[in-house]
């Protein structure tokens, strides 16, 4: 997300943090199986590790084309900025064990990084933690350090553990953790927005924005309605034991909402405790049809494309007004090419946005230099070793007027499937029915 200083197009795409510039948008293209989704999955995996959603299926996930003598280490590393503070964070996984974890104040490549902490865990699960020098020189902190070591687990990062400590030395750790917990948002093709019915009910500004956006897509949508019922009216007298368990859970945690997803994975009901009354909320979509009649529809009655667009509503609301980072895999999934282009173009041309949008796509219709700078378009291609090369259109030094969509489809930049063998395939040879 670092701009090429020589490019003069779409200058409003460059955000300034102090004296550092970064880009607001990036699109990633590549053939099926080229590694686009793996890039997103890796980022999601790193986030899950940090915030405590540990994936215990990490054993034996090393690069399968390595031979047995090569290291099993997998390195995840990232530079990011939270509240104007730049960080460098990295972990080295060896199967499920975190062999190394380190957090620095990053110089962003312009000097020496400043250590916040480094944690090492050996093959016998013995852990050592090194903090910044100021912390290490304080006697009281040595006692705290020994206490912390009792809580360290070999398969878990310690960023969350440290961020929960009430110690001024860990203030920067709290900031870094905030980026992983709040700022970074990763949406996969199966991701669904949580508690949308509740947000529509309590936030009139968001509701108005969501209605305006969905109506502008010309899908026949007139309104978004949060249908609200008492918990006993909604569930009736069936499954009393399960119902009472939900009621106890909500009364014990009045600030908590319970999400229940229907088996169709579209409809969601939200249980919330408001002023000691438990309500069940569900989202309904308003349409107008024959003879100007209005009707409300469940999400399961809507098209996949409509539901996918609805999932994008909070994302675009956030990146317009806050410094969120949304990473979306297959942004065009189930959405018409002209519609997704219109949505991305509106974000691109808006000069008042604050967040970042990074996405993978196959939609060549988006390859438009009126929407993207050349340093905002990326390609993935599988190399002969079986790993993924990620490279930028900026490497090709194209003129700002060239038709990059045509060049891409003609194979000028690589990163497309080669289908010659498919034409040679005589699939009737495999017909054994006659």
Domain shared by 203 and 266, yes or no = yes
- Give yes or no for a contact between 268 and 283, defined as CB atoms under 8 angstroms apart: yes
* 257 within some domain: yes
The residue from 305, 330, 352 where one domain ends is 305
* 366 within some domain: no
Both structure tokens of 112: 């020496």
* 324 within some domain: no
Total structural domains within the chain: 2
Q: How far apart are CA 317 and CA 146, in angstroms?
A: 44
Q: How far apart are CA 52 and CA 55, in angstroms?
A: 9
Residues 6+ apart with CB under 8 A from 402: 369
Give the per-residue pLDDT at 144.
87
- Give yes or no for a contact between 292 and 149, defined as CB atoms under 8 angstroms apart: no
DSSP codes, 145-206: HHHHHTT--TTS-SHHHHHTS--GGGHHHHHHHHIIIIIEEEE-TT---SSHHHHHHH-HHH
The residue from 164, 187, 210 where one domain ends is 164
Instruction: Going residue by residue through the chain, which has 434 residues, state the pLDDT in tens, using 9 for 90 and above.
Output: 999 999 999 999 999 998 899 999 999 999 999 999 999 999 999 999 999 887 666 666 778 888 888 888 899 999 999 999 999 999 999 888 899 999 999 998 888 999 999 999 999 999 999 998 888 888 888 888 888 899 999 999 999 999 999 888 899 999 999 999 999 999 998 888 888 999 999 999 999 999 999 999 989 999 999 999 888 787 776 666 767 777 777 766 666 677 776 656 678 888 888 887 888 999 999 999 999 999 999 999 999 999 999 999 999 999 999 999 999 999 999 999 999 999 999 999 999 999 999 999 999 999 999 999 999 999 999 999 999 999 999 999 899 999 999 999 999 998 888 766 777 778 788 877 76
Domain shared by 99 and 139, yes or no = yes
* 338 within some domain: no
* 258 within some domain: yes
Domain shared by 220 and 150, yes or no = no
Instruction: Determine the structural domain holding residue 67 and report its residue range.
Output: 58-164
Residues 6+ apart with CB under 8 A from 73: 62, 92, 93, 94, 99
E strands, 309-383, in order: 325-328, 356-360, 377-382
Both structure tokens of 300: 């399961």
- In 3D space, the residue among 168, 202, 161 whose CA is nearest the CA of residue 51 turns out to be 161
What is the separation of C-alpha 103 from the centre of its chain, rounded to a whole number of angstroms?
Answer: 21
Give the per-residue pLDDT at 79.
96
What is the separation of C-alpha 353 from the centre of its chain, rounded to a whole number of angstroms?
Answer: 18
The residue from 145, 164, 183 where one domain ends is 164
Q: How far apart are CA 12 and CA 358, in angstroms?
A: 17
Output 352-355 pairs: Cβ under 8 A, ≥24 positions apart. 352/320, 353/24, 353/319, 353/320, 354/15, 354/319, 354/320, 354/321, 354/322, 354/323, 355/24, 355/318, 355/319, 355/320, 355/321, 355/322, 355/323, 355/324, 355/325, 355/326
* 241 within some domain: yes
| Buried-state track 325-341, b at ≥16 Cβ within 10 A, e below 16 | bbbbbbbbbebeeebbb
Give the per-residue pLDDT at 420.
66
Domain shared by 217 and 153, yes or no = no
Domain shared by 158 and 62, yes or no = yes
Domain shared by 221 and 274, yes or no = yes
Q: How far apart are CA 39 and CA 54, in angstroms?
A: 18
Taking the chain, what is the end-to-end CA distance rounded to the nearest angstrom?
Answer: 58
* 174 within some domain: no
Domain shared by 152 and 221, yes or no = no
- Give yes or no for a contact between 29 and 390, defined as CB atoms under 8 angstroms apart: no
Domain shared by 292 and 230, yes or no = yes
CB count within 10 Å of CB 303 equals 11
Domain shared by 155 and 230, yes or no = no
- Give yes or no for a contact between 430 and 414, defined as CB atoms under 8 angstroms apart: no
DSSP 338: H
Both structure tokens of 82: 């939270």
Give the per-residue pLDDT at 342.
95
Both structure tokens of 339: 């519609």
Give the per-residue pLDDT at 60.
67
Domain shared by 147 and 238, yes or no = no
| Buried-state track 197-236, b at ≥16 Cβ within 10 A, e below 16 | bbbbbeeeebbebbbebbeebebebbbbbbebeebeebbe
Taken in order 105, 109, 110, 112, the sign of the CA dihedral is positive
DSSP 375: G
* 419 within some domain: no
Q: How far apart are CA 49 and CA 47, in angstroms?
A: 5
Domain shared by 80 and 134, yes or no = yes
């Amino acid at each position: 997300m670092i701009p090429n200083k020589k490019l003069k197009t779409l200058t409003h795409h460059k955000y300034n943090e102090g004296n550092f510039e970064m880009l607001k948008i990036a699109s990633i293209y590549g053939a099926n199986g080229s590694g686009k989704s793996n890039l997103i999955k890796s980022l999601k995996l790193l986030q899950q590790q940090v915030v405590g959603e540990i994936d215990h299926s990490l054993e034996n996930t090393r690069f399968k084309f390595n031979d047995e003598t090569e290291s099993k280490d997998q390195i995840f590393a990232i530079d990011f900025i939270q509240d104007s503070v730049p960080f460098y964070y990295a972990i080295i996984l060896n199967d499920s064990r975190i062999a190394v974890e380190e957090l620095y104040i990053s110089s962003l490549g312009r000097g020496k990084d400043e250590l916040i902490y480094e944690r090492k865990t050996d093959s016998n699960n013995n852990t050592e933690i090194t903090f910044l020098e100021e912390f290490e020189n304080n006697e009281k902190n040595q006692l705290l350090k020994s206490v912390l070591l009792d809580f360290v687990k070999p398969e878990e990062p310690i960023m969350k553990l440290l961020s929960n400590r009430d110690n001024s030395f860990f203030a920067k750790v709290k900031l870094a953790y905030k980026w992983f917990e709040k700022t970074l948002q990763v949406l996969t093709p199966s991701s669904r927005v949580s508690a949308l019915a509740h947000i529509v009910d309590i936030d009139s500004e968001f509701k108005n924005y969501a209605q305006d956006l969905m109506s502008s897509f010309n899908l026949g949508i007139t309104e978004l309605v949060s249908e609200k019922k008492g918990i006993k009216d909604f569930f009736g007298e069936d499954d009393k034991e399960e119902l009472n368990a939900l009621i106890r859970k909500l009364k014990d945690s009045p600030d908590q909402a319970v999400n229940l997803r229907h088996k169709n994975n579209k409809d969601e009901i939200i249980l919330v405790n408001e002023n000691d009354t438990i309500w069940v909320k569900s989202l309904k979509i308003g349409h107008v049809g024959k003879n100007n009649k209005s009707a409300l529809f469940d999400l399961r009655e809507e098209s996949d494309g409509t539901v996918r667009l609805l999932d994008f509503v909070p994302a675009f609301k956030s990146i317009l007004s806050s410094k969120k980072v949304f990473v979306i895999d297959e942004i065009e999934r189930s959405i018409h090419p002209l519609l997704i282009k219109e949505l991305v173009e509106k974000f691109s041309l808006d000069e008042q946005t604050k967040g970042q949008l990074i996405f993978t796509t196959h939609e060549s219709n988006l390859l438009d230099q009126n929407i993207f700078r050349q340093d905002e378009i990326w390609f993935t291609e599988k190399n002969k070793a079986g790993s993924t090369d990620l490279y930028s259109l900026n490497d090709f030094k194209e003129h700002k007027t060239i038709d990059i969509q045509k060049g891409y489809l003609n194979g000028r930049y690589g990163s497309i499937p080669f289908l010659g063998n498919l034409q040679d395939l005589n699939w009737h040879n495999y017909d054994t029915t006659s």
